Chains A and B, each alone.
Chain A
Protein backbone atom coordinates (compact mmCIF):
# COMPACT_ATOMS: atom_id res chain seq x y z
CA UNK A 1 0.00 0.00 0.00
CA UNK A 2 2.80 2.44 1.00
CA UNK A 3 4.85 1.44 -2.05
CA UNK A 4 1.99 2.01 -4.42
CA UNK A 5 1.44 5.49 -3.05
CA UNK A 6 5.13 6.30 -3.52
CA UNK A 7 5.08 5.08 -7.07
CA UNK A 8 2.03 7.13 -7.82
CA UNK A 9 3.81 10.19 -6.47
CA UNK A 10 6.93 9.52 -8.49
CA UNK A 11 5.10 8.94 -11.74
CA UNK A 12 4.20 12.56 -12.61
CA UNK A 13 7.82 13.68 -12.08
CA UNK A 14 9.14 11.00 -14.44
CA UNK A 15 6.50 11.75 -17.03
CA UNK A 16 7.37 15.42 -16.93
CA UNK A 17 10.82 14.68 -18.37
CA UNK A 18 10.34 13.79 -21.98
CA UNK A 19 11.86 14.52 -25.35
CA UNK A 20 9.60 14.09 -28.36
CA UNK A 21 11.05 12.84 -31.63
CA UNK A 22 11.96 9.24 -30.91
CA UNK A 23 13.45 6.91 -28.31
CA UNK A 24 16.11 8.34 -26.00
CA UNK A 25 18.67 7.09 -23.47
CA UNK A 26 17.81 7.98 -19.88
CA UNK A 27 20.21 8.76 -17.04
CA UNK A 28 19.01 9.54 -13.57
CA UNK A 29 20.23 10.86 -10.22
CA UNK A 30 18.38 12.03 -7.13
CA UNK A 31 18.16 15.55 -8.51
CA UNK A 32 18.23 15.30 -12.31
CA UNK A 33 16.99 13.23 -15.20
CA UNK A 34 18.84 13.38 -18.51
CA UNK A 35 17.43 12.19 -21.80
CA UNK A 36 19.69 12.13 -24.83
CA UNK A 37 19.47 10.94 -28.42
CA UNK A 38 22.21 10.80 -31.09
CA UNK A 39 21.21 12.35 -34.40
CA UNK A 40 21.40 10.79 -36.93
CA UNK A 41 22.50 7.90 -34.67
CA UNK A 42 25.86 6.65 -33.38
CA UNK A 43 28.54 5.51 -35.78
CA UNK A 44 32.27 5.58 -36.35
CA UNK A 45 34.02 8.21 -38.43
CA UNK A 46 31.22 10.71 -38.97
CA UNK A 47 29.95 13.75 -37.15
CA UNK A 48 26.78 13.47 -35.12
CA UNK A 49 24.76 15.68 -32.79
CA UNK A 50 23.02 15.00 -29.48
CA UNK A 51 19.55 16.15 -28.60
CA UNK A 52 19.52 16.53 -24.80
CA UNK A 53 16.78 17.22 -22.26
CA UNK A 54 17.57 17.82 -18.58
CA UNK A 55 14.87 17.86 -15.88
CA UNK A 56 14.51 20.02 -13.93
CA UNK A 57 16.11 22.60 -16.24
CA UNK A 58 19.66 23.31 -14.96
CA UNK A 59 21.80 26.44 -15.26
CA UNK A 60 24.16 24.86 -17.70
CA UNK A 61 25.15 21.52 -19.31
CA UNK A 62 28.41 20.30 -20.78
CA UNK A 63 28.87 17.25 -23.01
CA UNK A 64 31.99 15.31 -23.88
CA UNK A 65 33.06 11.71 -24.59
CA UNK A 66 36.18 9.57 -24.29
CA UNK A 67 37.51 6.04 -24.82
CA UNK A 68 38.43 4.81 -21.33
CA UNK A 69 40.26 1.71 -22.63
CA UNK A 70 42.38 3.76 -25.03
CA UNK A 71 42.72 6.70 -22.60
CA UNK A 72 41.86 9.39 -25.13
CA UNK A 73 38.98 11.70 -25.84
CA UNK A 74 37.43 12.95 -29.05
CA UNK A 75 39.40 15.06 -31.51
CA UNK A 76 36.53 17.56 -31.37
CA UNK A 77 35.11 19.79 -28.65
CA UNK A 78 31.32 19.67 -28.89
CA UNK A 79 29.43 22.95 -28.83
CA UNK A 80 26.20 23.11 -26.85
CA UNK A 81 23.26 25.34 -27.68
CA UNK A 82 20.48 25.86 -25.11
CA UNK A 83 17.02 25.62 -26.70
CA UNK A 84 15.11 26.61 -23.56
CA UNK A 85 13.16 24.55 -21.00
CA UNK A 86 16.15 22.32 -20.23
CA UNK A 87 16.52 21.29 -23.88
CA UNK A 88 19.94 21.44 -25.59
CA UNK A 89 21.62 20.51 -28.83
CA UNK A 90 25.27 19.39 -28.76
CA UNK A 91 27.08 19.53 -32.11
CA UNK A 92 30.38 18.42 -33.59
CA UNK A 93 30.85 15.05 -31.88
CA UNK A 94 32.78 12.35 -33.74
CA UNK A 95 33.88 8.87 -32.63
CA UNK A 96 37.04 8.19 -34.63
CA UNK A 97 37.59 4.59 -33.51
CA UNK A 98 35.31 1.59 -32.97
CA UNK A 99 34.97 0.23 -29.44
CA UNK A 100 33.70 1.46 -26.08
CA UNK A 101 33.09 5.18 -25.64
CA UNK A 102 31.78 6.93 -22.56
CA UNK A 103 29.59 10.03 -22.74
CA UNK A 104 30.14 12.59 -20.00
CA UNK A 105 27.40 15.02 -19.03
CA UNK A 106 28.14 17.80 -16.56
CA UNK A 107 25.00 19.39 -15.21
CA UNK A 108 25.28 22.63 -13.24
CA UNK A 109 22.12 23.03 -11.18
CA UNK A 110 21.02 24.90 -8.08
CA UNK A 111 22.75 22.41 -5.79
CA UNK A 112 26.12 22.33 -7.57
CA UNK A 113 27.62 20.35 -10.43
CA UNK A 114 26.67 16.75 -11.10
CA UNK A 115 28.46 14.37 -13.44
CA UNK A 116 26.77 11.60 -15.43
CA UNK A 117 28.56 8.91 -17.39
CA UNK A 118 27.08 6.59 -19.97
CA UNK A 119 28.91 3.83 -21.77
CA UNK A 120 28.16 2.89 -25.39
CA UNK A 121 29.75 0.54 -27.94
CA UNK A 122 30.15 1.51 -31.58
CA UNK A 123 31.29 -0.68 -34.47
Chain B
Protein backbone atom coordinates (compact mmCIF):
# COMPACT_ATOMS: atom_id res chain seq x y z
CA UNK B 1 0.00 0.00 0.00
CA UNK B 2 2.73 2.44 0.96
CA UNK B 3 4.67 1.74 -2.25
CA UNK B 4 1.82 2.64 -4.55
CA UNK B 5 2.58 6.38 -4.85
CA UNK B 6 6.21 5.63 -5.72
CA UNK B 7 5.17 3.21 -8.43
CA UNK B 8 2.79 5.79 -9.84
CA UNK B 9 5.56 8.34 -9.85
CA UNK B 10 7.92 5.95 -11.64
CA UNK B 11 5.29 5.13 -14.22
CA UNK B 12 4.92 8.83 -14.95
CA UNK B 13 8.67 9.37 -15.31
CA UNK B 14 9.62 6.41 -17.51
CA UNK B 15 8.50 6.91 -21.11
CA UNK B 16 6.15 4.12 -22.15
CA UNK B 17 8.63 1.37 -23.04
CA UNK B 18 7.61 -1.15 -25.67
CA UNK B 19 6.22 -4.32 -24.10
CA UNK B 20 7.26 -7.23 -26.29
CA UNK B 21 4.60 -9.80 -27.22
CA UNK B 22 5.23 -13.54 -26.90
CA UNK B 23 5.66 -13.84 -30.66
CA UNK B 24 8.16 -10.97 -30.69
CA UNK B 25 10.11 -12.56 -27.83
CA UNK B 26 10.33 -15.81 -29.82
CA UNK B 27 11.53 -13.93 -32.91
CA UNK B 28 14.14 -12.04 -30.87
CA UNK B 29 15.36 -15.20 -29.13
CA UNK B 30 15.93 -16.80 -32.55
CA UNK B 31 18.75 -14.28 -33.24
CA UNK B 32 20.96 -15.84 -30.58
CA UNK B 33 22.71 -17.15 -28.63
CA UNK B 34 26.00 -15.48 -29.51
CA UNK B 35 28.78 -16.42 -30.00
CA UNK B 36 27.99 -19.84 -31.50
CA UNK B 37 29.87 -22.93 -30.36
CA UNK B 38 32.79 -24.03 -32.52
CA UNK B 39 32.26 -27.02 -34.79
CA UNK B 40 34.94 -28.57 -36.98
CA UNK B 41 34.53 -28.61 -40.75
CA UNK B 42 34.58 -32.34 -41.54
CA UNK B 43 35.66 -31.67 -45.14
CA UNK B 44 38.92 -30.09 -43.91
CA UNK B 45 41.25 -32.30 -41.89
CA UNK B 46 43.18 -29.17 -40.78
CA UNK B 47 40.06 -27.58 -39.27
CA UNK B 48 40.55 -26.72 -35.59
CA UNK B 49 44.24 -27.74 -35.66
CA UNK B 50 46.32 -25.05 -33.86
CA UNK B 51 49.32 -25.54 -36.19
CA UNK B 52 47.04 -25.10 -39.21
CA UNK B 53 45.50 -21.97 -37.68
CA UNK B 54 48.95 -20.46 -37.21
CA UNK B 55 50.07 -21.39 -40.73
CA UNK B 56 46.83 -19.98 -42.10
CA UNK B 57 47.27 -16.75 -40.18
CA UNK B 58 50.77 -16.29 -41.63
CA UNK B 59 49.56 -17.04 -45.16
CA UNK B 60 46.63 -14.62 -44.81
CA UNK B 61 49.09 -11.74 -44.40
CA UNK B 62 51.74 -13.19 -46.78
CA UNK B 63 52.51 -10.97 -49.78
CA UNK B 64 54.61 -13.63 -51.48
CA UNK B 65 51.30 -15.41 -52.05
CA UNK B 66 50.65 -12.90 -54.91
CA UNK B 67 52.04 -12.61 -58.44
CA UNK B 68 53.52 -9.13 -57.87
CA UNK B 69 54.55 -9.67 -54.23
CA UNK B 70 52.37 -6.72 -53.18
CA UNK B 71 48.92 -8.26 -52.64
CA UNK B 72 47.65 -10.47 -49.84
CA UNK B 73 44.33 -11.67 -48.46
CA UNK B 74 44.69 -9.01 -45.74
CA UNK B 75 44.98 -6.16 -48.25
CA UNK B 76 41.33 -6.63 -49.13
CA UNK B 77 40.18 -8.30 -45.90
CA UNK B 78 41.56 -5.66 -43.49
CA UNK B 79 41.21 -6.67 -39.82
CA UNK B 80 40.43 -3.12 -38.62
CA UNK B 81 37.48 -2.87 -41.03
CA UNK B 82 35.99 -6.14 -39.86
CA UNK B 83 37.90 -7.84 -42.70
CA UNK B 84 36.67 -5.64 -45.56
CA UNK B 85 38.34 -2.84 -47.54
CA UNK B 86 35.97 0.13 -47.66
CA UNK B 87 35.82 0.00 -51.47
CA UNK B 88 32.69 -0.48 -53.56
CA UNK B 89 34.39 -3.14 -55.69
CA UNK B 90 37.56 -4.90 -54.59
CA UNK B 91 40.85 -3.96 -56.20
CA UNK B 92 43.69 -6.47 -56.39
CA UNK B 93 45.98 -6.83 -59.39
CA UNK B 94 42.94 -5.43 -61.23
CA UNK B 95 39.46 -4.14 -60.40
CA UNK B 96 37.01 -6.95 -59.57
CA UNK B 97 33.23 -7.00 -60.04
CA UNK B 98 32.16 -7.32 -56.42
CA UNK B 99 32.30 -5.87 -52.93
CA UNK B 100 34.71 -7.53 -50.50
CA UNK B 101 32.86 -9.76 -48.05
CA UNK B 102 33.90 -9.93 -44.41
CA UNK B 103 35.45 -13.17 -43.24
CA UNK B 104 34.08 -12.67 -39.70
CA UNK B 105 31.63 -15.49 -38.91
CA UNK B 106 32.22 -16.99 -42.35
CA UNK B 107 32.42 -20.46 -40.81
CA UNK B 108 28.64 -20.37 -40.33
CA UNK B 109 27.90 -20.25 -44.06
CA UNK B 110 26.73 -23.11 -46.27
CA UNK B 111 27.73 -21.40 -49.53
CA UNK B 112 30.64 -19.02 -50.04
CA UNK B 113 30.94 -15.88 -52.14
CA UNK B 114 28.07 -13.59 -53.12
CA UNK B 115 27.05 -16.22 -55.69
CA UNK B 116 27.78 -19.31 -53.59
CA UNK B 117 30.20 -20.63 -56.23
CA UNK B 118 31.96 -22.67 -53.55
CA UNK B 119 30.64 -25.14 -50.99
CA UNK B 120 33.50 -25.01 -48.48
CA UNK B 121 35.61 -22.33 -46.86
CA UNK B 122 38.80 -23.93 -48.17
CA UNK B 123 37.54 -24.09 -51.76
CA UNK B 124 36.51 -20.43 -51.47
CA UNK B 125 40.05 -19.63 -50.30
CA UNK B 126 41.54 -21.04 -53.52
CA UNK B 127 39.55 -18.65 -55.69
CA UNK B 128 41.38 -15.38 -54.81
CA UNK B 129 44.80 -17.08 -55.02
CA UNK B 130 44.30 -18.10 -58.66
CA UNK B 131 42.04 -15.23 -59.82
CA UNK B 132 44.22 -13.03 -62.10
CA UNK B 133 42.49 -9.90 -60.73
CA UNK B 134 43.25 -10.78 -57.11
CA UNK B 135 46.48 -12.58 -56.19
CA UNK B 136 47.12 -13.95 -59.69
CA UNK B 137 49.05 -17.07 -58.70
CA UNK B 138 48.88 -20.62 -60.05
CA UNK B 139 49.20 -23.96 -58.27
CA UNK B 140 52.81 -24.21 -59.56
CA UNK B 141 53.86 -20.87 -58.03
CA UNK B 142 52.11 -21.60 -54.72
CA UNK B 143 53.78 -25.01 -54.47
CA UNK B 144 57.17 -23.44 -55.31
CA UNK B 145 56.68 -20.87 -52.54
CA UNK B 146 55.91 -23.55 -49.95
CA UNK B 147 58.70 -25.91 -51.06
CA UNK B 148 61.27 -23.14 -51.38
CA UNK B 149 60.77 -21.61 -47.93
CA UNK B 150 62.15 -23.80 -45.14
CA UNK B 151 59.87 -22.27 -42.48
CA UNK B 152 56.67 -22.54 -44.55
CA UNK B 153 57.54 -26.07 -45.64
CA UNK B 154 58.17 -27.09 -42.03
CA UNK B 155 54.82 -25.67 -40.92
CA UNK B 156 53.05 -27.30 -43.85
CA UNK B 157 54.56 -30.69 -42.90
CA UNK B 158 53.52 -30.21 -39.27
CA UNK B 159 49.91 -29.90 -40.38
CA UNK B 160 49.70 -32.30 -43.30
CA UNK B 161 52.59 -34.72 -42.70
CA UNK B 162 54.35 -33.93 -45.98
CA UNK B 163 54.47 -31.42 -48.81
CA UNK B 164 52.86 -33.41 -51.64
CA UNK B 165 54.60 -33.76 -55.01
CA UNK B 166 51.40 -32.67 -56.79
CA UNK B 167 51.19 -28.86 -57.07
CA UNK B 168 47.41 -28.77 -56.94
CA UNK B 169 47.43 -30.80 -53.73
CA UNK B 170 49.83 -28.25 -52.18
CA UNK B 171 47.47 -25.44 -53.21
CA UNK B 172 44.55 -27.24 -51.56
CA UNK B 173 46.60 -27.68 -48.35
CA UNK B 174 47.40 -23.96 -48.32
CA UNK B 175 43.69 -23.19 -48.73
CA UNK B 176 42.77 -25.60 -45.92
CA UNK B 177 45.22 -23.86 -43.57
CA UNK B 178 43.80 -20.46 -44.62
CA UNK B 179 40.33 -21.83 -43.85
CA UNK B 180 41.44 -23.08 -40.42
CA UNK B 181 42.55 -19.54 -39.57
CA UNK B 182 39.39 -17.88 -40.94
CA UNK B 183 37.20 -20.26 -38.93
CA UNK B 184 38.54 -18.65 -35.77
CA UNK B 185 37.26 -15.20 -36.80
CA UNK B 186 34.02 -14.69 -34.94
CA UNK B 187 32.62 -11.24 -34.17
CA UNK B 188 32.21 -10.30 -30.51
CA UNK B 189 29.04 -9.71 -28.58
CA UNK B 190 27.04 -6.68 -29.69
CA UNK B 191 24.62 -4.47 -27.69
CA UNK B 192 21.79 -6.47 -29.28
CA UNK B 193 23.14 -9.72 -27.74
CA UNK B 194 23.20 -8.18 -24.26
CA UNK B 195 19.63 -7.00 -24.78
CA UNK B 196 18.41 -10.36 -26.10
CA UNK B 197 19.86 -12.27 -23.17
CA UNK B 198 18.50 -9.70 -20.68
CA UNK B 199 15.04 -9.96 -22.25
CA UNK B 200 15.02 -13.76 -21.99
CA UNK B 201 16.15 -13.60 -18.36
CA UNK B 202 13.71 -10.80 -17.50
CA UNK B 203 16.63 -8.59 -16.41
CA UNK B 204 14.96 -5.16 -16.32
CA UNK B 205 18.17 -3.15 -16.03
CA UNK B 206 19.68 -4.97 -19.00
CA UNK B 207 16.52 -4.42 -21.02
CA UNK B 208 16.45 -0.72 -20.15
CA UNK B 209 20.05 -0.09 -21.16
CA UNK B 210 19.37 -1.02 -24.80
CA UNK B 211 18.44 2.23 -26.57
CA UNK B 212 14.75 2.83 -27.26
CA UNK B 213 15.35 3.70 -30.93
CA UNK B 214 17.11 0.35 -31.45
CA UNK B 215 14.15 -1.39 -29.76
CA UNK B 216 11.70 0.34 -32.11
CA UNK B 217 13.92 -0.58 -35.06
CA UNK B 218 13.99 -4.19 -33.89
CA UNK B 219 10.19 -4.29 -33.81
CA UNK B 220 10.13 -3.14 -37.46
CA UNK B 221 12.85 -5.68 -38.36
CA UNK B 222 10.88 -8.66 -37.03
CA UNK B 223 7.47 -7.09 -37.75
CA UNK B 224 6.24 -5.15 -40.73
CA UNK B 225 9.72 -5.06 -42.31
CA UNK B 226 9.78 -8.89 -42.47
CA UNK B 227 13.56 -8.55 -42.61
CA UNK B 228 13.97 -11.78 -40.62
CA UNK B 229 12.35 -13.77 -43.43
CA UNK B 230 15.86 -13.80 -44.94
CA UNK B 231 18.14 -12.26 -42.30
CA UNK B 232 17.36 -14.97 -39.76
CA UNK B 233 19.11 -16.83 -36.95
CA UNK B 234 22.12 -15.82 -34.82
CA UNK B 235 24.13 -14.61 -37.85
CA UNK B 236 21.11 -12.81 -39.40
CA UNK B 237 21.25 -14.78 -42.66
CA UNK B 238 19.50 -17.80 -44.11
CA UNK B 239 22.66 -18.50 -46.13
CA UNK B 240 20.60 -18.62 -49.34
CA UNK B 241 20.03 -16.39 -52.37
CA UNK B 242 17.55 -13.65 -53.22
CA UNK B 243 16.96 -10.81 -55.63
CA UNK B 244 16.40 -7.63 -53.63
CA UNK B 245 16.28 -5.25 -56.59
CA UNK B 246 19.93 -4.24 -56.61
CA UNK B 247 20.82 -3.71 -60.29
CA UNK B 248 23.06 -6.43 -61.68
CA UNK B 249 24.70 -4.36 -64.40
CA UNK B 250 28.44 -4.14 -63.78
CA UNK B 251 28.93 -1.65 -66.58
CA UNK B 252 27.36 -1.05 -69.97
CA UNK B 253 26.77 -4.40 -71.64
CA UNK B 254 28.05 -6.55 -68.75
CA UNK B 255 25.89 -8.12 -66.06
CA UNK B 256 26.60 -10.14 -62.92
CA UNK B 257 24.34 -13.22 -63.12
CA UNK B 258 24.89 -13.92 -59.41
CA UNK B 259 23.63 -17.29 -58.21
CA UNK B 260 22.85 -18.46 -61.76
CA UNK B 261 26.54 -18.56 -62.68
CA UNK B 262 27.48 -19.47 -59.09
CA UNK B 263 25.76 -22.86 -59.39
CA UNK B 264 27.42 -23.51 -62.74
CA UNK B 265 30.85 -22.61 -61.34
CA UNK B 266 30.21 -24.79 -58.30
CA UNK B 267 29.37 -27.80 -60.47
CA UNK B 268 32.40 -27.29 -62.69
CA UNK B 269 34.84 -26.80 -59.81
CA UNK B 270 37.39 -29.60 -59.21
CA UNK B 271 37.45 -28.39 -55.59
CA UNK B 272 33.78 -28.91 -54.74
CA UNK B 273 32.75 -31.33 -52.00
CA UNK B 274 31.91 -34.05 -54.52
CA UNK B 275 35.54 -34.04 -55.68
CA UNK B 276 38.65 -35.82 -54.40
CA UNK B 277 39.77 -33.13 -51.92
CA UNK B 278 36.85 -33.49 -49.49
CA UNK B 279 38.33 -35.08 -46.34
CA UNK B 280 34.98 -36.27 -44.94
CA UNK B 281 34.77 -40.03 -45.33
CA UNK B 282 31.05 -40.25 -45.98
CA UNK B 283 30.72 -36.92 -47.82
CA UNK B 284 27.69 -35.94 -45.75
CA UNK B 285 28.62 -32.30 -46.13
CA UNK B 286 28.08 -32.54 -49.90
CA UNK B 287 24.32 -32.86 -49.52
CA UNK B 288 23.70 -29.28 -50.71
CA UNK B 289 26.00 -29.66 -53.71
CA UNK B 290 24.34 -32.89 -54.73
CA UNK B 291 20.84 -31.42 -54.56
CA UNK B 292 21.21 -27.76 -55.52
CA UNK B 293 18.78 -26.79 -58.27
CA UNK B 294 19.58 -24.40 -61.11
CA UNK B 295 16.61 -22.27 -62.12
CA UNK B 296 16.02 -19.24 -64.29
CA UNK B 297 15.07 -17.19 -61.24
CA UNK B 298 18.62 -17.60 -59.84
CA UNK B 299 19.67 -14.93 -62.32
CA UNK B 300 20.44 -11.77 -60.31
CA UNK B 301 20.19 -13.52 -56.94
CA UNK B 302 22.92 -12.95 -54.34
CA UNK B 303 23.57 -14.49 -50.96
CA UNK B 304 21.81 -12.87 -48.00
CA UNK B 305 24.64 -11.18 -46.06
CA UNK B 306 25.07 -11.52 -42.32
CA UNK B 307 24.13 -8.28 -40.55
CA UNK B 308 26.71 -8.58 -37.78
CA UNK B 309 29.43 -5.92 -37.70
CA UNK B 310 27.91 -3.78 -40.45
CA UNK B 311 29.17 -0.50 -38.98
CA UNK B 312 32.80 -0.90 -40.23
CA UNK B 313 31.94 -2.68 -43.53
CA UNK B 314 30.42 0.06 -45.73
CA UNK B 315 29.70 0.30 -48.61
CA UNK B 316 27.00 -2.35 -48.89
CA UNK B 317 25.50 -4.92 -51.28
CA UNK B 318 27.25 -7.27 -53.71
CA UNK B 319 28.49 -4.36 -55.81
CA UNK B 320 29.02 -1.84 -53.01
CA UNK B 321 26.40 0.40 -54.62
CA UNK B 322 24.86 1.65 -51.35
CA UNK B 323 27.16 3.86 -49.28
CA UNK B 324 25.44 3.86 -45.88
CA UNK B 325 23.02 1.82 -43.79
CA UNK B 326 20.56 4.66 -44.26
CA UNK B 327 20.78 4.12 -48.03
CA UNK B 328 20.11 0.40 -47.52
CA UNK B 329 17.04 1.06 -45.37
CA UNK B 330 15.81 3.63 -47.89
CA UNK B 331 16.28 1.03 -50.61
CA UNK B 332 13.90 -1.37 -48.83
CA UNK B 333 11.57 1.53 -48.06
CA UNK B 334 11.14 2.68 -51.65
CA UNK B 335 11.75 -0.54 -53.58
CA UNK B 336 9.53 -0.71 -56.65
CA UNK B 337 8.29 -4.07 -57.89
CA UNK B 338 9.49 -3.18 -61.42
CA UNK B 339 13.03 -3.09 -60.16
CA UNK B 340 12.79 -6.66 -59.00
CA UNK B 341 13.59 -9.26 -61.58
CA UNK B 342 10.47 -10.95 -62.98
CA UNK B 343 10.87 -13.85 -60.57
CA UNK B 344 11.82 -11.57 -57.65
CA UNK B 345 10.93 -12.38 -54.08
CA UNK B 346 7.18 -11.85 -53.70
CA UNK B 347 7.46 -10.73 -50.08
CA UNK B 348 9.53 -7.67 -50.95
CA UNK B 349 7.32 -4.58 -51.21
CA UNK B 350 8.16 -0.93 -50.61
CA UNK B 351 7.90 -0.46 -46.84
CA UNK B 352 7.23 3.30 -47.15
CA UNK B 353 8.85 3.99 -43.78
CA UNK B 354 8.59 7.39 -42.13
CA UNK B 355 11.73 9.38 -41.35
CA UNK B 356 11.70 8.31 -37.69
CA UNK B 357 11.26 4.65 -38.63
CA UNK B 358 14.25 4.83 -41.00
CA UNK B 359 16.38 6.23 -38.15
CA UNK B 360 15.14 3.52 -35.77
CA UNK B 361 15.91 0.69 -38.18
CA UNK B 362 19.40 2.11 -38.74
CA UNK B 363 19.90 2.34 -34.96
CA UNK B 364 18.93 -1.32 -34.67
CA UNK B 365 21.32 -2.38 -37.44
CA UNK B 366 24.13 -0.44 -35.74
CA UNK B 367 23.44 -2.29 -32.49
CA UNK B 368 24.56 -5.53 -34.19
CA UNK B 369 28.21 -4.42 -34.22
CA UNK B 370 30.70 -5.46 -31.58
CA UNK B 371 32.66 -2.20 -31.40
CA UNK B 372 35.79 -3.72 -32.92
CA UNK B 373 38.99 -4.83 -31.28
CA UNK B 374 38.38 -8.57 -31.22
CA UNK B 375 41.46 -9.32 -33.33
CA UNK B 376 45.08 -8.60 -32.50
CA UNK B 377 47.60 -10.06 -34.88
CA UNK B 378 49.73 -12.55 -33.03
CA UNK B 379 53.47 -12.17 -32.63
CA UNK B 380 54.73 -15.40 -34.03
CA UNK B 381 57.05 -17.66 -32.12
CA UNK B 382 60.49 -18.73 -33.28
CA UNK B 383 61.16 -20.52 -36.55
CA UNK B 384 59.51 -23.84 -37.17
CA UNK B 385 61.57 -26.91 -36.44
The answer to whether A47 and B26 touch (CB under 8 A), given A72-B345, A74-B293, A75-B293, is no
A71 to B243, CA, bound (A): 14
Are the C-beta atoms of B241 and A75 separated by less than 8 Å? yes
Q: Which residues of A contact B241 (CB under 8 A)?
A: 75
Partner of A76, one of B230, B233, B239, B291: B291
Total interface residues on B, using CB and 8 Å?
Answer: 23
Q: Which residues of A contact B291 (CB under 8 A)?
A: 76-79, 91-92
The verdict on B129 contacting chain A, using a C-beta distance below 8 Å, is: no
Give a binary string over A63-84; 1 marks a CB under 8 Å from any B CB, 0 the rest. Answer: 0000001111111111100000
Are the C-beta atoms of B233 and A45 separated by less than 8 Å? yes
The verdict on B343 contacting chain A, using a C-beta distance below 8 Å, is: yes
Are the C-beta atoms of A72 and B232 separated by less than 8 Å? no
User: Which of A10-18, A95-103, A104-112 lies at the interface?
Assistant: A95-103
Are the C-beta atoms of A98 and B229 separated by less than 8 Å? yes
Name the residue on B nearest A99 (C-beta): B229
A contact patch SS: loop
The verdict on A44 contacting chain B, using a C-beta distance below 8 Å, is: yes
The verdict on B62 contacting chain A, using a C-beta distance below 8 Å, is: no
The verdict on B290 contacting chain A, using a C-beta distance below 8 Å, is: yes
Q: Which residues of A contact B30 (CB under 8 A)?
A: 123
The verdict on B327 contacting chain A, using a C-beta distance below 8 Å, is: no
Q: Which residues of B contact A76 (CB under 8 A)?
A: 288, 291-293
Are the C-beta atoms of B290 and A97 separated by less than 8 Å? no
B contact patch SS: loop
Are the C-beta atoms of A96 and B26 separated by less than 8 Å? no
Give a binary string over B141-182; 1 marks a CB under 8 Å from any A CB, 0 the rest. Answer: 000000000000000000000000000000000000000000
Q: Which residues of A contact B288 (CB under 8 A)?
A: 47, 76, 92, 94
Are the C-beta atoms of B347 and A70 separated by less than 8 Å? yes
Give a binary string over B336-371; 1 marks a CB under 8 Å from any A CB, 0 the rest. Answer: 000000010111000000000000000000000000
A45, A74, A97 pick with most chain B CB within 10 angstroms: A97
A95 to B239, CA, bound (A): 11
Of residues 12 through 69 on chain A, the ones whose CB sits less than 8 Å from some CB of chain B are 44-45, 47, 69
Q: Which residues of B contact A74 (CB under 8 A)?
A: 293
Are the C-beta atoms of B290 and A92 separated by less than 8 Å? yes
Are the C-beta atoms of B233 and A77 separated by less than 8 Å? no
CB proximity of B300 to chain A, nearest CB, Å: 14
Give a binary string over B292-317; 1 marks a CB under 8 Å from any A CB, 0 the rest. Answer: 11010100000000000000000000
Are the C-beta atoms of A71 and B229 separated by less than 8 Å? no
Q: Which residues of B contact A73 (CB under 8 A)?
A: 293, 295
Partner of B290, one of A44, A79, A123: A79
The verdict on B261 contacting chain A, using a C-beta distance below 8 Å, is: no
Of residues 179 through 234 on chain B, the ones whose CB sits less than 8 Å from some CB of chain A are 228-230, 232-233
Are the C-beta atoms of B232 and A98 separated by less than 8 Å? yes
Name the residue on B nearest A92 (C-beta): B291
Partner of A92, one of B233, B239, B287: B287
Of residues 262 through 283 on chain B, the ones whose CB sits less than 8 Å from some CB of chain A are none
Q: Which residues of B contact A71 (CB under 8 A)?
A: 346
The verdict on B324 contacting chain A, using a C-beta distance below 8 Å, is: no
Name the residue on A nearest B30 (C-beta): A123
Q: Which residues of B contact A72 (CB under 8 A)?
A: 297, 343, 345-346
Q: Which residues of B contact A96 (CB under 8 A)?
A: 238-240
CB proximity of A104 to chain B, nearest CB, Å: 14
A44 to B238, CA, bound (A): 8
A77 to B229, CA, bound (A): 21
Of residues 105 through 123 on chain A, the ones whose CB sits less than 8 Å from some CB of chain B are 123
A92 to B110, CA, bound (A): 13
A78 to B288, CA, bound (A): 10
The answer to whether A44 and B287 touch (CB under 8 A), given A75-B292, A97-B238, is no
Are the C-beta atoms of B293 and A77 separated by less than 8 Å? yes
Q: Which residues of B contact A77 (CB under 8 A)?
A: 291-293
Q: Which residues of B contact A94 (CB under 8 A)?
A: 288
Are the C-beta atoms of B238 and A91 separated by less than 8 Å? no
A104 to B195, CA, bound (A): 41
Name the residue on A nearest B111 (C-beta): A75
Name the residue on A nearest B298 (C-beta): A75
Can you list 19 A-B contacts (CB < 8 A)? A44-B232, A44-B233, A45-B232, A45-B238, A45-B239, A47-B288, A71-B346, A72-B345, A73-B295, A79-B290, A79-B291, A91-B287, A92-B288, A92-B290, A92-B291, A96-B239, A97-B229, A98-B228, A99-B229
Further 11 A-B residue pairs, CB within 8 A, beyond A47-B287, A96-B238, A97-B240: A45-B238, A45-B239, A47-B288, A75-B240, A77-B291, A77-B293, A92-B288, A92-B291, A94-B288, A97-B232, A98-B228
